[in-house]
Amino acid sequence: MSILPAHSEPSCADTAKESCALPDPHGALAAACSRGAGEWRVAIKDSLDVAGLPTRLGSAVLADAAPAAAHAEVVAHLLADGRWRIVGKANMHEFAFGVTGVNPRCGTPVNPCWPARIPGGSSSGSAVAVAGGLVDMAIGTDTGGSVRMPAACCGVTGFKPTYGLVSRRGAWPAESSLDCVGVFARDVAMVEAAMTAIVPGFAVADEPRAPVLGVLDPTVADDVGDAVAAAIARWGGACRSRALPGLEAAFDAGMVIIGRESWQALAQFADDPAMGEDVRARILAGRDHAPERLAAAEAVRQVFSDEVDAALAGVDALVLPTLPSVPPMLAEASDPRAVLPLTRLVRPFNLSGHPAITLPVLTAQGLPAGVQLVGRKGGDAALLALARCLWRGLDTFHAGD
């Protein structure tokens, strides 16, 4: 990735937009382009390199970033596959370090179905591009729920693969023990098609004949809990009760690790006046994590990973809500009490490295919620096949249809 300092009057206005620009009424794209000649349209989060376009990470700090010299590996795989056409780079929460998707300097993508609510972050533009029908599939990244959370907020499907399955070469940050390149789409079959393109040798699996779900029961808002319970009941398959007592500790450990890794990646920009103050505060907080606290977080990682493996014994996947509550209103996005808990049920699986997918459902009031499935490490194809099976029985909401 090529990065240059920002100029003296930072702006996110894109000087590299190409004549192929599509109508983008929800502000999903940071830059329009045309790469490839396939039938399926794709947006790429602006934290992955697309040759000839700058990678700005949703930040005015990088307003003068040089164009990338080469494609990120996941982009190269998509173009080599031949079925895809990249139509733009998707907007995002600044430096991928926020859960709301609100970006005052570079623009906040509008949640197409619930415009008064946050789009979710950090892969906000990717989720909005899919939900608004601008693209058939979008690529995002998920360090602490940043694919699954905005997917649930916008009413689409979002998949975080097993850690390390999808190449991160050409992605930012260059090093992360949590981050995964993930996929947004309006249905599971399109997610599977994308995985066959971006992971060499990936094969779509057959649906399980008699799947069994391990049902987790974390504390969530009543309307979300009722929506998820009703969706599972409509599916009608076999269920067994499961528990993850270390879920809260895993969330806390994930926060420590992402804080420290983000400080290491972003310290060089921390004093730049063009940086948003919300992001700056989180970066500076990561500076102060003591070595013993990091060591304790790593110990939690191993314990929780083993706990998830044990909970998966005898079931095909774990199921739980994606969000603990419906997405907050944009007016609430600056309130830490409203936004900090939003990744409580997704971030732990970045820590453990297990694959997870969210499917969209609605509350009784017609607001977005999500059903999250968590599978075995390396069992991504099996998890997607199960999700495809549940997709039909869950009577899911289909944004963009």
Q: For residue 322, is it within any domain?
A: yes
Q: Quick one: tokens of 198? A: 């971006």
Is residue 354 classed as helix, strand or coil in its secondary structure?
coil
- Strands 137-142, 84-90: parallel, antiparallel or unpaired by DSSP? unpaired
The answer to the question of residue 12 being in a domain is no
Catalytic residues: 45, 122, 146
Residues in the chain: 401
Which residue reads 């096949």 in tokens? 385
Has residue 74 been placed in a domain? yes
- Given a contact cutoff of 8 angstroms between Cβ atoms, the answer to whether 58 and 27 are in contact is no
Q: Is residue 3 part of a domain?
A: no
Give backbone dihedrals phi and psi of 227, rounded to 5 degrees, phi first.
-65, -45
Per-residue burial over 137-169, b if 16 or more Cβ lie within 10 Å, else e, is bbbbbbbbbbbbbbbbbbbbbbbbbbbebbbbe
Which domain does 217 fall in, by range? 29-393
Q: CA 20, CA 52: separation in Å to the nearest integer?
A: 15
* Tens of each residue's pLDDT in the chain, 401 residues: 433 333 333 446 443 445 456 899 999 999 999 999 999 999 999 999 999 999 999 999 999 999 999 999 999 999 999 999 999 999 999 999 999 999 999 999 999 999 999 999 999 999 999 999 999 999 999 999 999 999 999 999 999 999 999 999 999 999 999 999 999 999 999 999 999 999 999 999 999 999 999 999 999 999 999 999 999 999 888 999 999 999 999 999 999 999 999 999 999 999 999 999 999 999 999 998 999 999 999 999 999 999 999 999 999 999 999 999 999 999 999 988 889 899 999 999 999 999 999 999 999 999 999 999 999 999 999 999 999 999 887 755 666 66
CATH number at residue 282: 3.90.1300.10
**Is the residue at 24 inside a domain?**
no
Residue 208 CA to residue 316 CA, distance in Å, equals 9
Structural domain includes residue 139: yes
Fill in the amino acid letter for 16. Answer: A
Burial grade of 238 (CB within 10 A; 0-12, 13-18, 19 or more): exposed
Position 185 in a domain: yes
Whether 20 is covered by a domain: the verdict is no
| Number of compact structural domains in the chain | 1
The pLDDT assigned to 337 comes to 80
- Look-up: residue for tokens 């009490």? 337
Contact predicate 396/361, CB 8 Å: yes
Neighbours of 50 (CB within 10 A): 25
